[in-house]
């Protein structure tokens, strides 16, 4: 897609063809193309392709942007890199909580974060090196009737001083695919470090090592419905703690920091097992969950918590431990067959097991359903039969 295609999609004719493409119920690409050609005679073939691509992208984007996706435009790469709306909304809320009123997005992509900033009432501007992404971001703000300015510029050359907060989401892909080299980011890690010396937020991959986070910068790992989405680094007055885990679910969000973590010891297996959220694990706050449920760790090096009491916590999935089963495969198969188990969920941590392969080898045929946890308890391989609650 080019800039001209983005502009066409915003015209009355472009919207008509795109709406028609979105209404097609034809999974076969060739048949869908032929159907759209019949429905929109006279439309150039390349524009038909643009409309069909956009219809597909909008359908995929619903997982990230919900109902807003039906009004927005996307590029394939831009959609992949865009922040999920729930996560971007949380970030924007943090800015407004610190009384920020203006923000500059350095590398705005298709405008996902700009949309969240504008919806939160922030005065926002965005820049990107790619004219197509800039055109798409501009179109998205306009389609949602949101204010904001977007332009083509190099983030390295933008004066951020007039803005309360600078935000950057460095691209972590090169022509050869995803990169794990911090200096291969665009803009590079050295730029992010400098940016974080002021009031700023830098979005990074969840796997960022703790030891590369600059002193005085808050690292926040964010998960959405159990899936870790990002680590956000907060600089200047936006940093309030060193490490934070934020979990977003249907009922809202909850946050946990190192200030909530008195530490915890390894304890004997209790009646309940807790599987901490991925954001909690990334933030190194598993022992905070253990303290919160009045329990301890199963093993010093494994992110499972156990307790004798049941608790509902947004920071972990909870299970009742029904019994301990044999850990070795042959006696485990016999124990499962004896209990009539045919449908098996296998969870594992700290053991060298591929669940799908093990399930196939177990060859279960019973009518009952069960969940097992393969892990280590005080250093010993263990299989627990559990029930989610």
State whether residue 367 is helix, strand or coil.
coil
For the chain, strand residue ranges (E) read 102-106, 123-128, 149-152, 165-168, 173-174, 177-178, 200-204, 218-224, 227-235, 243-249, 252-257, 272-276, 296-299, 302-307, 316-325, 341-348, 368-377, 380-388
Q: How far apart are CA 148 and CA 19, in angstroms?
A: 26
Quote the pLDDT of residue 188. Answer: 86
Per-block average pLDDT, block size 10, for the chain (389 residues)?
Answer: 96 96 90 92 94 96 96 95 96 95 97 98 97 98 97 95 96 63 79 95 94 96 96 97 96 94 94 97 97 94 95 95 94 95 95 93 94 91 94
Could you give the angle at the alpha carbon of 96 between the alpha carbons of 92 and 102, nearest 5°?
A: 85
CATH classification for the domain delimited by 79-255, as one of 2.60.370.10, 3.60.20.10, 3.40.50.150, 1.10.600.10: 3.40.50.150
Cβ neighbours of 202 (radius 10 Å): 25
Quote the pLDDT of residue 320. Answer: 97
Quote the pLDDT of residue 269. Answer: 95
Quote the pLDDT of residue 13. Answer: 95
Quote the pLDDT of residue 106. Answer: 97
Quote the pLDDT of residue 179. Answer: 61
Quote the pLDDT of residue 308. Answer: 96
Q: Where are the domains of the chain?
A: 3-57, 79-255, 259-312, 318-388
Q: Which two tokens stand for residue 162?
A: 């007039």
Quote the pLDDT of residue 185. Answer: 77
Residue 328's closest CA among 364, 361, 299?
361
CA 136, 137, 141, 147 torsion: positive or negative? negative
Residues 6+ apart with CB under 8 A from 204: 170, 192, 230, 231, 232, 233
State whether residue 2 is helix, strand or coil.
coil
Quote the pLDDT of residue 57. Answer: 97
Residue 6's closest CA among 53, 59, 68, 62?
53
């Amino acid at each position: 897609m080019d800039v001209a295609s983005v502009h066409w999609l915003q015209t009355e004719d472009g919207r008509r063809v795109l709406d028609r493409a979105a209404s097609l119920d034809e999974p076969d690409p060739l048949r869908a193309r032929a159907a759209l050609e019949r429905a929109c005679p006279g439309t150039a073939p390349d524009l038909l392709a643009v409309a069909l691509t956009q219809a597909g992208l909008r359908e995929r984007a619903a997982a990230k942007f919900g109902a807003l996706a039906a009004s927005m435009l996307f590029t394939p790469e831009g959609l992949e890199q865009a922040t999920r709306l729930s996560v971007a909304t949380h970030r924007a809320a943090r800015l407004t909580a610190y009384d920020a009123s203006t923000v500059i997005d350095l590398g705005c992509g298709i405008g996902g974060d700009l949309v969240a900033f504008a919806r939160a009432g922030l005065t926002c501007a965005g820049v990107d090196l790619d004219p197509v992404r800039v055109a798409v971001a501009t179109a998205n703000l306009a389609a949602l009737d949101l204010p904001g300015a977007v332009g083509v510029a190099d983030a390295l050359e933008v004066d951020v001083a007039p803005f309360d907060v600078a935000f950057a989401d460095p691209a972590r892909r090169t022509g050869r695919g995803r990169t794990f080299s911090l200096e291969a980011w665009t803009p590079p890690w050295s730029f992010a470090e400098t940016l974080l010396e002021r009031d700023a937020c830098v979005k990074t991959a969840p796997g960022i090592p703790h030891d590369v986070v600059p002193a005085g910068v808050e690292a926040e790992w964010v998960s959405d419905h159990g899936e870790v989405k990002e680590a956000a680094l907060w600089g200047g007055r936006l940093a309030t703690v060193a490490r934070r885990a934020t979990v977003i679910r249907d009922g809202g969000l909850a946050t946990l920091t190192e200030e909530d973590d008195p530490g915890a010891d390894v304890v004997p297996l209790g009646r309940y097992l807790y599987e901490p959220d991925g954001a909690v694990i990334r933030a190194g706050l598993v022992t905070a969950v253990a303290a919160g449920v009045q329990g301890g760790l199963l093993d010093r090096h494994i992110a499972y918590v156990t307790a004798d009491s049941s608790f509902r916590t947004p920071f972990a999935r909870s299970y009742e431990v029904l019994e301990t089963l044999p850990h070795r495969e042959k006696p485990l198969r016999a124990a499962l067959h004896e209990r009539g188990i045919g449908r098996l969920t296998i969870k594992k941590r700290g053991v060298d097991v591929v669940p799908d392969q093990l399930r196939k080898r177990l060859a279960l045929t019973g009518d009952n359903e069960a969940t097992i946890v393969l892990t280590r308890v005080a250093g010993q391989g263990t299989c627990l039969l559990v029930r989610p609650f």
